[in-house]
């Protein structure tokens, strides 16, 4: 292909790509200067984005859908999440994305799908973020409502939640860079790991001491669900527990060694 043909092909390619909405201002093209995110900090931030209120709903999902189907869905969701990360990074590093300076969901969707699909994406992201915030606020309120009285602090559930979010979560949400949350993410991941250990230790101790029927069975846990619809009901909870895609491009964009191979290590 000669130079003239290459220019013609590039021009045709530009014609096929709709212009993104003028209101969107990306931070820069994918080949912008390397960020400050290291492999450990990016891994912690991705874990923090994945592990959260969704983990607290997994016991209910296992009880609703049955232990065996829920375990299979957990493994399936983990594999699908890993593949989705690879696909999204591949889209971001594609030559077309590099040429047009696409750095996020808004760029990719508006560039390839036009304004209509862009508006649909924005509405879905707003709904997702709103639902996630409602879940987190409710979970924090429930936890503080049980922990503070045990520590001798008598305060209302709603008051404790408002103070907690005002003192801790709002300032953390004001950070412009995801990498600046690495220390807070480390504390959050440690807390989730501690919670998983406590729940697992209690469940296994009860199982060994009283047997399956008197422990897990009496709490409604079964190996198989009563109805296939129960598996369908538990699957959205499991998917939500693996949700990390909304934070993916921000974490990838701040990597010091920005490459699909590095992001794959972060995901694994």
Tell me how many domains the chain contains.
Answer: 1
Cα separations (Å) of 223 from 112, 205, 212, 216?
Answer: 45, 19, 11, 10
- The reply to whether 132 falls in a domain is yes
What pLDDT shows up at residue 63?
84
Helix (H, G, I), strand (E, B) or coil at 24: coil
Does 228 map to a domain?
A: yes
Domain assignment present for residue 148? The answer is yes
pLDDT of residue 10: 44
| Per-residue confidence (pLDDT) for residue 29, from 0 to 100 | 45
CA distance 174 to 171: 5
Q: Is residue 27 part of a domain?
A: no
Q: What integer pLDDT is reported at residue 52 of this predicted model?
A: 67
Count of positions (residues) in the chain = 268
Task: Examine residue 114 and state whether it is found in any structural domain, yes or no.
Answer: yes
In a domain, 46, yes or no: yes
Whose CA is closest to 73, among 253, 230, 205? 230
In a domain, 238, yes or no: yes
Q: Is 5 contained in some domain? A: no
CA 128 to the chain's CA centroid? 11
Q: What is the mean pLDDT of each run of 10 residues along the chain (268 residues)?
A: 47 44 39 69 79 76 86 89 87 85 82 86 86 80 81 82 84 79 82 82 81 71 83 85 80 82 80
Domain hosting 208: range is: 33-267
């Amino acid at each position: 292909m000669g130079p003239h043909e290459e220019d013609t092909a590039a021009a045709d390619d530009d014609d096929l790509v709709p212009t993104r909405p003028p209101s969107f201002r990306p931070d820069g093209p994918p080949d912008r200067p390397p960020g400050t995110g290291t492999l450990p900090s990016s891994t912690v931030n991705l874990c923090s984005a994945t592990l959260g209120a969704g983990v607290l709903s997994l016991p209910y999902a296992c009880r609703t859908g049955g232990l065996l189907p829920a375990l299979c869905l957990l493994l399936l969701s983990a594999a699908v999440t890993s593949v989705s990360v690879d696909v999204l990074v591949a889209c971001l590093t594609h030559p077309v994305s590099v040429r047009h300076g696409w750095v996020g969901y808004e760029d990719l969707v508006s560039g390839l799908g036009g304004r209509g699909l862009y508006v649909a994406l924005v509405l879905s992201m707003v709904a997702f973020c709103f639902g996630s915030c409602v879940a987190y606020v409710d979970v924090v309120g429930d936890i503080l409502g049980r922990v503070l009285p045990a520590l001798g602090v008598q305060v209302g559930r709603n008051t404790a939640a408002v103070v907690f979010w005002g003192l801790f979560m709002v300032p953390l949400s004001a950070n412009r860079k995801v990498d600046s949350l690495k220390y807070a993410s480390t504390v959050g991941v440690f807390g989730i790991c501690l919670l998983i250990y406590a729940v697992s230790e209690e469940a296994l101790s009860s199982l060994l001491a009283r047997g399956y029927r008197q422990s897990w069975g009496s709490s409604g846990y079964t190996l198989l669900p009563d109805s296939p619809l129960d598996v369908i009901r538990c699957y959205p909870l499991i998917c939500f527990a693996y949700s990390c895609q909304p934070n993916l491009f921000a974490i990838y964009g701040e990597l010091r060694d920005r490459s699909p191979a590095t992001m794959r290590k972060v995901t694994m």
